[in-house]
């Protein structure tokens, strides 16, 4: 796999991790060639990242909401709809109540922990062997 070159990660504290995940094809940047290492993450973006790491692509996502995942704020025409529906169907992410997913809202630390716990408990997401517990700890410490 070829590593992507981002215009804004050189020298960043998480440069190694960004480049590694990009090489695996798990993340990509923006159309302008940047990655946004200090940018925030929306709920829709998190659903996308999780399902890409689970091996899904645009062609393998649901075209309509599975049972229990029919959120009133996620339309089939939204770029993130299939990703959100798959993350919901897999049990990784739920709505926020009232029939809403709130796709453009930023994740809280508590939501991230819940999502990662759901993914870990599923046992379905492959873990690249090059990511060790010390790397994960490093990512967590750098992200504070």
More confident residue, 19 or 123: 19
The overall average pLDDT reported for the chain is 83
More confident residue, 71 or 50: 71
Residue 95: partners with Cβ closer than 8 Å, 6 or more residues away: 71, 88, 101, 102
pLDDT at 97 over 60: yes
More confident residue, 53 or 78: 78
Q: What is the pLDDT of residue 88?
A: 97
pLDDT at 131 over 70: no
What is the share, in percent, of the chain residues with pLDDT greater than 70? 83
For the chain, the structural domain boundaries read: 1-39, 40-128
Closest CA to 42 of 75, 14, 84, 7: 84
Average pLDDT over residues 85-109: 95
Q: What is the pTM of this model?
A: 0.73
- Band (pLDDT 50/70/90 cuts) for residue 1 is very low
Q: What is the pLDDT of residue 14?
A: 86
At 99-114, the pLDDT tens digits run 999 999 999 878 888 8
Rounded-to-integer distance, Cα 63 and Cα 70, Å: 12
């Amino acid at each position: 796999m070829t590593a992507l070159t981002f215009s804004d990660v050189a020298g960043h504290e998480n440069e190694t991790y960004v480049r590694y995940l990009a090489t695996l094809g798990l993340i990509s940047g923006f159309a302008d060639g940047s990655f946004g290492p200090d940018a925030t993450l929306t709920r829709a973006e998190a659903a996308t990242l999780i399902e890409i790491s689970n091996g899904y692509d645009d062609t393998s996502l649901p075209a309509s909401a599975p049972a229990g995942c029919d959120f009133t704020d996620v339309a089939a025409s939204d770029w993130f709809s299939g990703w959100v529906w798959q993350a919901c169907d897999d049990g990784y992410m739920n709505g926020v109540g009232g029939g809403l997913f709130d796709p453009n809202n930023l994740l809280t630390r508590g939501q991230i922990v819940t999502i990662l716990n759901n993914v870990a408990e599923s046992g379905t997401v492959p873990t690249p062997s090059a990511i060790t517990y010390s790397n994960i700890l490093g990512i967590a410490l750098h992200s504070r």
